[in-house]
Structure 1
Amino acid sequence: MSHTPHRLADDFPEFRARIAELRESDRHFARLAEDYEAVNDEIHLSEINVHPLEDLAEVLKRKERGALKDAIYAMLSRAPA
């Protein structure tokens, strides 16, 4: 378990420029990124015992983060228009 928050640019370093571009140009992508960061922050705060979650709630948050990350990766890996 890592006590460092996952950031999109760290998770996808090869897409740093594309992440910044899509945050500005694509409202759907920007919303996915915001949702990812919000869920990720909740998980991080639970991991460091600032706002602990019940085990099941944390598992569900991790699954939500994974689904968001998959959707974000799908958008990042598409060829730019």
Structure 2
Amino acid sequence: MPLEYHPLSREFPDQQNALRSLMQSNAHFSRLAEEYQTLDKRIYEAEDGLANMDDLQLQGLKLQRVVLKDEIAGLLKTADS
């Protein structure tokens, strides 16, 4: 299976306008999105062998990414309402 990044634009393809709007108008959302992108990059690098990380650490990062994604999804849902 090829490695790939999981950018928010791919995770929420139907909410591009809301993503852009919240990135510009909501500092909390922007911080969450930045944290998500940083985690996604670290996970990709670990899976690709560019960064040394044991499986437990990698799973911890993936769990953090899921928690951030859930919080971002909630904010996007609120923005659509």
TM-score normalised to the size of structure 1? 0.93
Structure 1, unmatched stretches of 5+, are none
Partner of 2:8: 8
Superposition deviation, residue 2 in structure 1:
4.8
Identity percentage of aligned residues: 31
Amino acid at match of 1:37: Q
| Distance in 1 separating the partners of 2:7 and 2:79 | 22
Count of residues in Structure 1 that have an aligned counterpart in Structure 2: 81
Q: Which runs of 4+ in 1 moved over 3 A?
A: none
Structure 2, unmatched stretches of 5+, are none
Whether contact under 8 Å (2:18, 2:79) holds in the other structure is no
Superposition deviation, residue 79 in structure 1:
3.9
Deviations 1:19-55 (CA, angstroms, capped at 9, x unpaired): 0110000000000000000001000001111113111
| Distance in 2 separating the partners of 1:67 and 1:31 | 14
